[in-house]
Amino acid sequence: MSERIYKIAAMAGDGIGPEVVREALKVLRAAEGKFGFQLDVTEAPVGWAGIDAAGKALPDDTLALCRESDSILFGSVGLPDRDPTIPKEERPERAALLALRKEFGLFANLRPVKLPAELAHACPLKAERQGDGIDLLVVRELTGGMYFGQPKNTETLEDGQLRAVDTMVYSTSEIERIAHVGFKSAQLRRKHLMSIDKANVLENGVLWRDVVTRVAAEYPDVTLEHMFVDNAAMQFLLRPTQFDVVLCENLFGDILSDEAAALAGSLGMLPSASLGATSGERTFGFYEPAGGTAPDIAGKDLANPIAQIRSAAMMLRHSFAENDAAAAIDAAVGTAIANGLRTGDIFSADDPNARQVGTTEMGDAIAAAV
Ligand code: NAD
């Protein structure tokens, strides 16, 4: 990359957002010093913070900042006690989150699920099903399929019943584009791609399988397998360690990524990335933890910052190809866990090596380990 200067919009949002984004920025600064790139970070209000500052969940200045940035590091938005006080379309999740997804054409959602062996207790599966630790990545198509296909309506039939219609639609180019994200992600990992479909029943499944198989020819170093979605739902619980990258269309990915998330034990561990267009060597991305604003623990130094910190690592990897720095952050998270540091959500009193720490101490330890 010619100039390693990256312009980042940091939007912490509500609830625990400001606490965990602060720790993620701390860790990014540690990586910046060590790996020699430069971060140009501008913070901006969003969600209720946006409404309080400028009357809108996505203030005009915040949107303008996003447009001139290379990537967005996002906390979480929405407060259950305030959301119902304003119309639905003005509420933070719709007016900020969905608006940003649309604005930046974020078509690929990446959700890695990693359960280190030390946190086996937090996983609902028996230890023998966890192998040496679960480590998989769900790549979900985000802008097509049943959620957006037309026609989509509810009509009243002559006999008075209601009839609802949703339509699953994919074109070749939409499948190709997400398949490339899947194969490229697999190249950065253990080089295995499991493509999920329902080719035994759905026309979309047949096309999905054909296109993914064709794209595979461009990635001879990646092993491709196909699995029906119903079997995948079962295999996630029976043998999750068989998966490296799991490629799904929108609806299947929505369901399977939440099922996979449950394997990690806590929302506080789960990062995510939503990718848009690539220009040159940079890909516009939106990086946020899988969880929400956690109002029950906000402002108490109780939140686990790892989901946000790992989201920042994903930004370095997927938007800027700073793979060494991203790997160093992931390794630093592993070191903090191995050293016994635990926020409340992943703490077990049965583990003699575990010590409960707050948001700030966890962030400090990870930044120091980078
Ligand atoms: P939530 O994810 O905020 O919380 C669910 C549970 O997980 C809570 O017990 C919380 O304490 C815990 N949790 C979440 N993140 C954690 C972390 N980092 N460390 C430790 N524990 C953590 O979900 P919710 O309670 O259903 O929603 C609260 C608000 O967040 C709502 O207003 C909702 O609309 C919003 N929300 C926003 C986003 C987003 O911005 N992308 C996503 C989900 C929910």
The pLDDT assigned to 1 comes to: 46
Q: Is 236 helix (H, G, I), strand (E, B) or coil?
A: helix
pLDDT value at residue 133: 82
Of the candidates 81, 90, 17, the one whose C-alpha atom is nearest the C-alpha of residue 51 is 90
Domain coverage including residue 152: 124-263
Query: What is the mean pLDDT of the segment spanning 53-58?
Result: 97
pLDDT (mean) for 8-36 = 97
Percent of the chain with pLDDT over 90: 85
Q: What type of residue is 94?
A: R
Count of domains forming the chain: 2
Block residue for tokens 């070749």: 172
Integer Cα distance of 245 and 193 in angstroms: 5
Q: Are 276 and 351 found together in one domain?
A: yes
Q: Is the peptide bond before 151 cis (omega within 30 degrees of 0)?
A: yes
The reply to whether 19 falls in a domain is yes
- Residues 303, 246 share a domain: no
Q: In this structure, is residue 100 part of a structural domain?
A: yes
Residue 102 shares a structural domain with residue 131: no
Is 60 within the bounds of a domain? yes
Ligand 1 atom closest to residue 76's alpha carbon, by position in its atom list: 40
Nearest CA to ligand 1 atom 33: 78
Pocket lining: 291 vs ligand 1, CB cutoff 6 Å:
yes
291 pLDDT above the threshold of 70: yes
* Least confident window among 118-132, 242-256, 292-306: 118-132
Question: Would you say residue 182 has pLDDT above 60?
Answer: yes
Domain boundary among 263, 280, 306: 263
What's the mean pLDDT in 9-31? 98
Report the separation in Å between the CA atom of 268 and the middle of ligand 1, taken as the mean of its atom positions.
9
On the question of pLDDT at 2 being above 80, the answer is no
Question: Does the pLDDT at position 308 exceed 50?
Answer: yes
CB atoms within 10 A of CB 333: 26
Measured from the CA of 303, which atom of ligand 1 is nearest? 19
Q: Does residue 55 belong to any structural domain of this protein?
A: yes
Q: What is the pLDDT of residue 53?
A: 97
Cβ atoms 163, 157 nearer than 8 A: yes
The answer to whether residues 257 and 133 belong to one domain is: yes
Decide: 47 in ligand 1 pocket, CB within 6 A: no
- Ligand 1 in reach of 80 Cβ (< 6 A): yes
One domain for residues 308 and 250: no
Tell whether 116 is covered by a domain: no
Averaged confidence pLDDT in the chain = 95
- The SS3 call for residue 212 is helix
Q: What is the pLDDT of residues 11-20, one digit of tens each?
A: 999 999 999 9
- Report how far residue 227's alpha carbon sits from residue 234's, in angstroms, rounded to the nearest whole number: 11
Task: Tell me if 9 sits within 8 A of 46, measured CB to CB.
Answer: no
Which run of H or E residues covers position 53?
helix 48-54
Q: Could you tell me if the CB of 78 is within 6 A of ligand 1?
A: yes
The preferred substitution site among 85, 311, 345 for testing ligand 1, maximizing ligand atoms within 8 Å of CB, is 345
Answer yes or no: do 93 and 199 share one domain: no
Degrees to nearest 5, angle at CA 245 with 2 and 96: 65
> Facing residues of 40 across strands?
7
Q: Is 288 in the pocket of ligand 1 (CB under 6 A)?
A: yes
In a domain, 118, yes or no: no
* 146 & 19 share domain: no
Q: Mean per-residue pLDDT for 229-239?
A: 97
172 lies in a domain? yes
> pLDDT by residue (tens digit) across 65-117?
999 999 999 999 999 999 999 998 999 988 998 889 889 999 999 999 998 88
* In contact, 270 and 291? CB cutoff 8 Å: yes
Is the pLDDT higher at 121 or at 68?
Answer: 68
Do residues 70 and 25 share a domain? yes
For ligand 1, atom 12, name the residue with the nearest CA. Answer: 294
CA of 118 to the centre of ligand 1 (A): 24
The pLDDT of 181-202, averaged and rounded, is 96
Does a structural domain hold residue 119?
no
Q: Which residues have a catalytic role annotated?
A: 147, 198, 230, 254, 258
Task: Specify the pLDDT at position 127.
Answer: 86
How much distance in Å is there from the Cα of 201 to the middle of ligand 1?
Answer: 36
Q: Are residues 144 and 227 in the same domain?
A: yes
The answer to whether the CB of 330 is under 6 A from ligand 1 is no
Do both 256 and 138 map to the same domain?
A: yes
CA of 219 to the centre of ligand 1 (A): 37
Question: Does the beta carbon of 95 sit less than 6 angstroms from any atom of ligand 1?
Answer: no
The domain spanning residue 222 has which CATH number? 3.40.718.10
Indicate whether 139 and 65 sit together in one domain: no
95 & 160 share domain:
no
CA distance 54 to 231: 48
- How many whole angstroms separate alpha carbon 238 and alpha carbon 134? 12
